[in-house]
Amino acid sequence: MKTNSNRIRIAIQKSGRLAEKSIHILNKCGLDLDLRKDRLLHSCTNFPVDLMFVRDDDIPEYVADGVCEIGVVGINILEEKYLSIPDLDKKCFEILFKMGFGHCRLSLAVPDDFNYISPQSLNGLRIASSYPSCLRRFLSENKIQCEIIELSGSVEIAPNLKIADAICDLVSTGATLRSNGLKEVTTLLSSEACLVKTCKPINPEPQLTLDYLLRRLKGVLMAQRSKYIMMNAPKSSIEQIKKLIPGMEEPTIMSLTDSEKVALHAVASEDIFWETLEKLKAVGASSILVLPIEKVIA
C-alpha cells in the first residue's frame, strides 16, 4: 500500500540495457533520485514519485496490476508476453510513447554458410529463442513447421553447440551474431523502450502528479529529438530551405545589412544530417549552425 496518496510509482529495469537511460531521462525531467543500492523502492526527494527497480520482464505485470502507474519497457517484452491478448483492455496497460532508446530488433539468424533463400528454408529445422510466442506467430504466418528450442539466455551459442540450426534473438549492432559465425536473415519485430501506463483507475491526486510528469517527459523527449538551426541565406532561397529542414515550423527571419540576404532561425523536430547541410549550402545558405535543445514545452 502507498503511504502517501499523491505519489506515483514508476517501474524501471534494475540493471541492464534500459536501466541507465531510463534514470537519465527522469533526471532530465528534474527528478532528484535517492539511488541507494539494493533497494527495491527509491524515493524521489523533490517530486511525489517512487521508482521500483525490477527485472524488465516483470514490468508489464506491475503496470497492468496497478502496482506501478507507469513503467519503461521494451516493445519486444510487451509483444512476447501479451501477444495472445489482442484486446488492449484485457492487458490493462497502454503504450503512451516511445522513449528514443533501447532500439533493437527480433531477428532470425543462421550460420554463415547456411543457404537461406526465404523463411521456407527453415522448414523442419530447430530454432532456439527466448521469444517463443513471437517466433510461433512468425512460423504460423509463413506456414513453416519448426521445432522451437526455448532458451532463457545465450541463444546465440545454440547453433555452435548443435542444439539448434538457427536462432531468433534480439539484435542491435549485429556484433554478437558475427562473433558467433551467424548472419541475420529476417526481422520479426522492431523494438525500442516505451512508456506504459496502467489502465487501472488512478485517484485524482496521483493523476495530477502523473500528468505533470508526463508533460515534462514529453518535453525532454521532444528536446532530444529536436535541433535549433541558424543560417544566413539569400532571400530567394527561403522557400527551398523550408522544404529541406525536417519537421520545421515557420522559421524566424531577420534582415541583415546585406539586403539580399536574411538570417533564418528554426526548430527542426528531427535530427539534421550532414546531407541536409550540404543541400542547404547548395541553395546558398552559409554560416549554418545546428545546436542541441535543452528543454521544450509545446
Q: Which residues bind ligand ATP (CB under 6 A)?
A: 13, 16-18, 55-57, 74, 76-77, 102, 104, 170-172, 191
To the nearest whole angstrom, how small is the minimum distance from the Cβ of residue 160 to ligand ATP? Answer: 18
Which residues lie closer than 8 Å to 227 by C-beta, 6 or more apart? 267, 268, 270, 271, 272, 290, 291, 292, 293
Nearer to ligand ATP, 47 or 53 (CB): 53
To the nearest whole angstrom, how small is the minimum distance from the Cβ of residue 183 to Zn ion? Answer: 25
CB 282 within 8 A of CB 255: no
Nearer to ligand ATP, 72 or 267 (CB): 72
Q: Say how far residue 14 (Cα) sits from the centre of its chain.
A: 17
Applying CB under 5 A, the span of 23-31, 52-60, 206-214, 219-227 interacting with Zn ion comes to 52-60
List binders of Zn ion among 171-230 (CB under 5 A): none
Helix (H, G, I), strand (E, B) or coil at 174: coil
Q: Which of ligand ATP, Zn ion, none does residue 265 bind to, with CB < 5 to 8 Å depending on kind?
A: none
* The one-letter amino acid at 160: N
CB 98 within 8 A of CB 193: yes
Nearer to ligand ATP, 153 or 292 (CB): 153
The alpha helices in 226-296, defined as continuous H runs, are 238-244, 274-282
To the nearest whole angstrom, how small is the minimum distance from the Cβ of residue 18 to ligand ATP? Answer: 5
To the nearest whole angstrom, how small is the minimum distance from the Cβ of residue 63 to ligand ATP? Answer: 15
Angle at 203 between CA 211 and CA 29, to 5 degrees: 25
To the nearest whole angstrom, how small is the minimum distance from the Cβ of residue 77 to ligand ATP? Answer: 5
Nearer to ligand ATP, 18 or 248 (CB): 18
Q: Which of ligand ATP, Zn ion, none does residue 104 bind to, with CB < 5 to 8 Å depending on kind?
A: ligand ATP
d(CA 295, CA 277): 24
Q: Which of Zn ion, ligand ATP, none does residue 172 bind to, with CB < 5 to 8 Å depending on kind?
A: ligand ATP
CB 60 within 8 A of CB 77: yes
Interaction of residue 56 with Zn ion, rule CB under 5 A:
yes
Q: Which of ligand ATP, Zn ion, none does residue 180 bind to, with CB < 5 to 8 Å depending on kind?
A: none
Nearer to ligand ATP, 174 or 234 (CB): 174
To the nearest whole angstrom, how small is the minimum distance from the Cβ of residue 72 to ligand ATP? Answer: 10
Angle at 71 between CA 65 and CA 76, to 5 degrees: 95
Applying CB under 5 A, the span of 49-57, 67-75, 247-255, 281-289 interacting with Zn ion comes to 49-57
Which residues lie closer than 8 Å to 295 by C-beta, 6 or more apart? 219, 220, 223
Q: Which of ligand ATP, Zn ion, none does residue 205 bind to, with CB < 5 to 8 Å depending on kind?
A: none
d(CA 95, CA 63): 11
Q: DSSP secondary structure string, 107-139?
A: EEEEETT----SGGGGTT-EEEES-HHHHHHHH
Q: Which of ligand ATP, Zn ion, none does residue 18 bind to, with CB < 5 to 8 Å depending on kind?
A: ligand ATP
Among 14, 28, 57, 230, binds Zn ion (CB under 5 A): 57
CB 168 within 8 A of CB 80: no
To the nearest whole angstrom, how small is the minimum distance from the Cβ of residue 159 to ligand ATP? Answer: 17
d(CA 169, CA 165): 13
Q: Which residues bind Zn ion (CB under 5 A)?
A: 56-57
